[in-house]
Amino acid sequence: MTALTTPGRPEQDASPRPVPWRRMAWVTWRQHRFALGGVAALLGALAVWLWLIGLQAHHAYAAAADCHPASSSACGLLVGSFISHLSAAQNVAIVLQVVPALIGAFVGAPVLAREVETGTFRYAWTLGFGRWRWTLAKLVPLGVAVAAAAGLFSLLFSWYYQPFFVQTFSGNVQVPLYSTVFDLRGVAFAAWTLAAFAIGALVGMLIRRVVPALAATLVVYAGLAVAAGAYLREHYLTPLLVKNVNPPSSALIISQQWYAKGGQPASQAVLGQVLQQGAPQLGGGKGGIPQQDVTVNQWLIQHGYTLWTSYQPESRFWPFQWIEGGWLLALSVLLIAASAWLVSRRAA
């Protein structure tokens, strides 16, 4: 114990040595251990569930893949069983999208908002540890902890989902870059969780009340996640272009467009007219353009039309993971720095 009982002692040093960082570790743990426990409980429960349904999915995959002859009705049943696991997994992936949002709202938002709402910031910020140091000593370890937990969880998810990527027999080829699974694997899930936490912390500091901050965090996070999935991700690298052939089925298709001889885009109406001329031969070729139908495509190509497809190949999974992880990490650092700056200059 540092017991100095002489208050009048000379201590004119204008810049005393700061209180060591490590002393905040106990404080952060003591004040946020229930929040961290909540994260552990949530992810732990989800992990047990994922592990159980993952074992079943792996068994179903092994049974269907090992079945010979593949055309037998017994094998058909096994494939059917596997497909039901696949459709369940697609729903699981959608549900898991909310996990980072929940962590951001329930762990991130209260960290600063509760201090301001209850007035305890007047105590914490006047003890001499330093306001921005106090903020960083809270946000950085908590952010790292929730990101690490999410990272471990996403490893389990990758294992769970792996059979659906490697299988080819279901006819439903999974696209690794597709938005509902891309951000649950690799480094993305940890990065999104960190970003959600950092959003929560800053929103909490801006709104200064726990419950509104919590709701606002959910909204901001959802907006960012949807925007990234729908608009941003497909532009991380310049898409590849192919002409008159379909890209691999595991690729993420960005756009497909028919062009006329002169190079101008062909409208649906024009293509419909061309197809109607060949209707007898095409058999069932209706007004629409069933592009998977090889005969329809061949007919249009024979008539001088060109199909351009832009896509992102499956091989870009890891580059995209690093790009997404990178910008989310940069964003999180920025948000945490902004929170610390706000704390250090906020007036009471």
Q: Which of 87, 120, 302, 315 binds another protein (CB under 8 A)?
A: 120
CB of 201 to another protein, least distance (A): 18
**169, two tokens:** 């027999």
Q: Is 110 exposed, middle or buried (CB count within 10 Å of its CB: 0-12, 13-18, 19+)?
A: buried
Q: Which of 134, 153, 197, 221 binds another protein (CB under 8 A)?
A: 134
Residue 122 engages another protein in binding (rule: CB under 8 A): yes
Stretch that binds another protein, among 88-96, 98-106, 126-134, 176-184 (CB under 8 A): 126-134
CB of 14 to another protein, least distance (A): 5
* Residues forming a β-bridge with 308: 243, 257
Residue 124 engages another protein in binding (rule: CB under 8 A): yes
Cα distance between residue 256 and residue 245, in whole Å: 11
Contacts with another protein: how many residues (CB under 8 A)? Answer: 38
CB of 50 to another protein, least distance (A): 33
* Residues forming a β-bridge with 257: 308
Q: What is the DSSP string of 77-116?
A: HHHHHHHHHHHHHHHHHHHHTHHHHHHIIIIIHHHHHHHH
Residue 269 engages another protein in binding (rule: CB under 8 A): no
| Binding-residue pattern over the window 327 to 346 for another protein, x denoting contact by CB under 8 A | ------------------x-
| Binding-residue pattern over the window 31 to 70 for another protein, x denoting contact by CB under 8 A | x---------------------------------------
Nearer to another protein, 119 or 263 (CB): 119
Short-list 304, 232, 291, 219, CA closest to 261: 304
3-state secondary structure of 3: coil
Nearer to another protein, 30 or 68 (CB): 30
Residues 327, 100: contact at Cβ < 8 Å? no
Nearer to another protein, 130 or 278 (CB): 130
Nearer to another protein, 17 or 68 (CB): 17
Nearer to another protein, 121 or 317 (CB): 121
Nearer to another protein, 119 or 262 (CB): 119
Cα distance between residue 308 and residue 259, in whole Å: 8
Interaction residues for another protein, span 100-119 (CB under 8 A): 118-119
Cα distance between residue 194 and residue 199, in whole Å: 9
| Binding-residue pattern over the window 2 to 31 for another protein, x denoting contact by CB under 8 A | xxxx-xx--x-xxxxxxx---xx-xx--xx
Q: Which of 49, 51, 123, 318 binds another protein (CB under 8 A)?
A: 123
Sign of CA dihedral 81, 84, 90, 94: negative
Q: Which of 61, 106, 129, 305 binds another protein (CB under 8 A)?
A: 129
Cα distance between residue 329 and residue 340, in whole Å: 16
Short-list 324, 90, 323, CA closest to 193: 324
Vertex 43: Cα angle to 39 and 46 (nearest 5): 145
Residues 133, 18: contact at Cβ < 8 Å? yes
* Residues forming a β-bridge with 329: none
Using CB under 8 A as the criterion, which residues of the chain lie in contact with another protein when the complex forms?
1-5, 7-8, 11, 13-19, 23-24, 26-27, 30-31, 118-120, 122-131, 134, 345, 347-348
